[in-house]
Chain A
Amino acid sequence: MIKWLRWIAVLAIVAMVAAACNGDNGTGDGTTTAPPTTTEAGTTEPPPEPTTVGLVYDIGGRGDLSFNDSAAAGHDQATQDFGIEPQELEPNQGGTNREELMRLLADQGTDLIIGVGFLFSETVCKVAQDYPEVNFADVDGFIDATTCEGGSDLTEDSNIASLLFAEHQGSFLVGAAAAMKSTTGHIGFIGGVEIGLIQKFEAGFAAGARHVDPDITIDVQYISQPPDFSGFNDPAKGKEIAAGMYDGGADVVYHAAGGSGAGLFEAAKEASDAAGEQRWAIGVDSDQYQSAPPELQPYILTSMLKRVDVSVYESIAAQVDGNFVGGYLIFDLARDGVGYSTSGGFVDDIVPDLEELKAAIISGEIEVPDAV
């Protein structure tokens, strides 16, 4: 609750600052035609044109209850707060037209174009070179000189911002929570697809759990191998793997598997019913306690929050203010870009310990590994 209030307060302040700064910057050269206003002298002068922000989702798009929806939430919030002109596109099923969609938006005079997902990194790198007057951001996408031909390492002056997250830090905290709550000394991790990004979650989770209990047993399993990305959307397999882990003695299981996580929650309920004692699941990306059906909520211990919405919102806010900053923007614990949720109150008793760990990570006292 307090977290919520703080968040609203931050939004309000940003909104006021933005409104104050946005007095007369008609920098956008969009194609919108608003009726001109007549000033006292009788001359007409065009009103400031709204900033146009284009979002290109990854396959799945709005409504995936996960990654894309989180970006959409940031976009919606910014639309509401700043009166920007929002545009949203989604690639076709084969993902063959990412570049064309970015160019389409750029040709329309869009001021800021945000690619949602690391698969956009090469596309953003390429297209940004052809449209130096347009700003680009890529959620999760690391872009440097080797990403594409003609690319360069990003600086503050680049027209590209890589929006990166310290998922390992957030995962460390839920890993610690898992170890504190486990009575069997045995926990599990389910990854959606075995790629570097998801291994970052695994590394942080394992480090956090071992920090609390060095002897803890950690089962690790990935649902699919790249380039098969079905692991992010396969609840049936997620459930099967989770059931196996609970059967094998694990009593807390964390997932970083997008839509497959729904299967984990069901497995946690069934395992709890069968064993007659509590089995926990840990959610990811958003506060999954909030979106879960009521009968599954009692099994969701906490969720590792990855605030994609914050990163999108802040990028848009900066663009509206006229001080878009390129380069590598790291959304970490210190910036509340990652964290853990407390909905349901299941971790209330260990919040002081988790906050202590959080402070230690922010201060650099604990260094969390970001690779397995």
Chain B
Amino acid sequence: MNRSLRLVLGFLAPVAALVFALLISSLALILIDKPPLDAFQSMWSYGIQTNSLVSMVNRAGPLYLAGLAVGIGFKMNLFNIGVEGQYRLAALIAASVAAAVSLPAPLHILLIILVAMAVGGTWAGIAGVLKVTRGVHEVISTIMLNFIATGLGAYLLATFLREPPRPNDLIISTPDIPASGRFPSLNPVLGWFGIETPGDLFGFIIVSLFVGFLFYVIVSRTRFGFDLRASGLNPQAARASGVNPNRMIVTTMFLSGAIAGLIGLTDLLGFFNAYTLDFPTGLGFTGIAVALLGRNHPVGILLGALLIAFIERSAQILDLEGIPKEIITIIQGVIILSVVIAYEVVRRLIEAQEVRAAAEATKGREPEVVTT
């Protein structure tokens, strides 16, 4: 009973948040004299076209990794805001290494993945070490490290890592990654189902899903995962039972950064083939929202990533219909706020119910239940 109630409430909370967000954005649309139903209708019909679905999955892949990177930190109350800087620096250096070596395809890709994880992990690890040795709060240090990553990346790209410029070309980029370093697309798989798309379905999606699976195994099925959750729930108790908190902090930050390092590879190995000036930014920050939506659970994060990706893709049609696409910023913001509130309400409901149940169970044995 208790268990199924939890499940129902846990499912209802995000749905209620979504409905609430749609109501608020409808209100905003009515205020600017646009019919909200038309807007949602055209978003939906555009969003469920095959091309849009492919694009949605392509967007969701990096967002999923970003959500996982933030989520693993959240599991032990570490707030890694630095995912943004970690993935951009990792993508830049991985792209340069990838272009500099030539290896057989699987090894080449493996090397790129390892380099990206190492760079992302090291960059996040700095914040972990600072916290452990100097007591610097990771929120401060990761934000600062974002700025340093941007500056350092800019400097490296403009100097050492830059492809020799061609006349008249204004795009600054690293040299192209040879074919062996590119991740094959999943279009053949789509082909089995008779689906053809103008763009690619990025193969790196598979890696994202695998990382999600690993996340689940490590957090829920290993000693390390137990220590991680224990440290998050009650640091004192964890410490008393022999968990070394310093080691946990540094390891978790490293893991978080290592996952963050993979974020940029979806686009890098599937689309850009080089780190260029117009490389996607902002994925790390969106990842925080995705992790909040998904309650740090790998399946929840996946659903959150798909939802955000769907909204972003389907909003593209709005400008053509004469509706400002900024409306989706409102939708996303309200969803995140109301999801956080809804989860908190659910948590209190469950807690109240548990208190009642405990009171019932002990009723016969004790003359009075003292509540404060």
Q: Residues of A with Cβ closer than 8 Å to B?
A: 87-90, 92-101, 103-104, 108, 118-119, 121-122, 130, 140-142, 144, 146-147, 164, 194-197, 224-229
When A96-B280, A100-B55, A226-B157 are in contact, do A142 and B169 touch as well, CB less than 8 Å? yes
Name the interface residues of B90-104: CB closer than 8 Å to any CB of A.
Answer: none
Q: B166 within 8 Å of A by Cβ?
A: yes
Bound-state CA distance A196–B170 (Å) is 6
Task: Return chain B residues, CB-CB under 8 Å to A96.
Answer: 59, 267, 280
Residue contact B198 to A197, C-beta cutoff 8 Å? no
Whole-angstrom distance between the alpha carbons of A122 and B55 in the complex? 19
What is the minimal beta-carbon distance from B312 to any residue of chain A, in angstroms? 7
Closest to A106 in B: B198
Cβ of B191 < 8 Å from any Cβ of A? no
Q: Which 8 pairs, one residue from A and one from B, show the smallest C-beta to C-beta distance? A: A94-B282, A96-B280, A142-B168, A118-B170, A225-B154, A119-B278, A94-B280, A94-B281
Q: Is there a chain A Cβ closer than 8 Å to B172's Cβ? A: yes
- Nearest to A97 among chain B residues (CB) is B316
Interchain CB contact under 8 A, B317 and A130: no
Task: Determine which of B154, B312, B317 lies in contact with A226 in the assembled complex, contact meaning CB atoms within 8 Å.
Answer: B154
In the complex, besides A99-B199, A141-B170, A225-B158, 20 extra interface pairs with C-beta distance below 8 angstroms are A87-B320, A89-B316, A89-B319, A93-B282, A94-B280, A96-B59, A100-B316, A103-B198, A104-B316, A104-B320, A118-B171, A119-B278, A122-B276, A142-B168, A146-B169, A164-B168, A195-B170, A196-B170, A225-B151, A225-B154
Give the number of chain B interface residues (Cβ < 8 Å). 35
How far does the alpha carbon of A299 sit from the alpha carbon of B170 in the complex, in Å? Answer: 32
Note all chain B residues with C-beta closer than 8 A to A89.
316, 319-320
Chain B residues with CB under 8 Å of chain A are 51, 55, 59, 150-151, 153-155, 157-158, 165-166, 168-172, 198-199, 267, 276-283, 312-313, 316-317, 319-320, 325
With A96-B267, A227-B157 in contact, do A196 and B165 touch (Cβ < 8 Å)? yes
Chain B residues within 8 Å of A108, by CB: 320
Report yes or no: B155 in contact with A130, Cβ–Cβ below 8 A: no
List of B residues within 8 angstroms of A99 by Cβ: 199
Q: Which of B150, B155, B316 has the most CB of A within 10 A?
A: B316
A87 contacts across to B, CB distance below 8 A: 319-320
| Bound Cα distance from A93 to B172, whole angstroms | 20
Residue of A nearest to B88 (CB): A227
Q: A225-B158, A226-B154 are in contact. Are A119 and B316 (CB under 8 A)?
A: no
**Contact present for A122 and B153 (CB under 8 Å):** no
Smallest CB–CB gap between B187 and chain A, Å?
A: 15
Is the Cβ of B320 less than 8 Å from the Cβ of A119? no
Complex Cα–Cα for A84 and B312 (A): 29
Q: Are A227 and B154 also in contact (CB < 8 A) when A96-B59, A119-B278, A146-B166 are? A: yes
Residues of A within 8 A of B169 (CB): 142, 146-147, 196
- Please, how many angstroms separate the alpha-carbon atoms of A226 and B161 in the complex? 13
Q: 5 A–B contact pairs at CB < 8 A?
A: A97-B312, A104-B316, A118-B170, A119-B277, A226-B157
A227 to B317, CA, bound (A): 29
Measured CB to CB, the closest approach of chain B to A105, in angstroms, equals 8
* Nearest CB on B from A52, distance (A): 11
Inter-chain contact B283/A94, CB cutoff 8 Å? yes
Given contacts A90-B319, A97-B316, A130-B198, contact A227 B280 (CB under 8 A): no
Chain B residues within an 8 Å CB radius of A224:
154
- Contacting residues, chain A, for B199 (C-beta < 8 A): 99-100, 103
Which residue on chain A has the smallest CB distance to residue B279? A227
A96 and chain B: residue at smallest CB distance: B280
Task: Kindly list chain A residues whose C-beta atoms are within 8 Å of the C-beta of B320.
Answer: 87, 89, 104, 108
The residue on A at minimum CB distance from B147 is A228
What CA separation (Å) do A147 and B157 show in the bound complex? 19
User: A147 CA to B166 CA in the complex, in Å?
Assistant: 10
Given contacts A103-B198, A196-B170, contact A95 B158 (CB under 8 A): no
Q: Hey, which chain A residues are within 8 Å of B277, CB to CB? A: 119, 226-227, 229
One of A103, A122, A140, A228 near B154 (C-beta < 8 A): A228
Tell me the minimal C-beta distance from A68 to chain B in angstroms: 14
Closest CB of chain A to B76's CB: distance in Å? 29
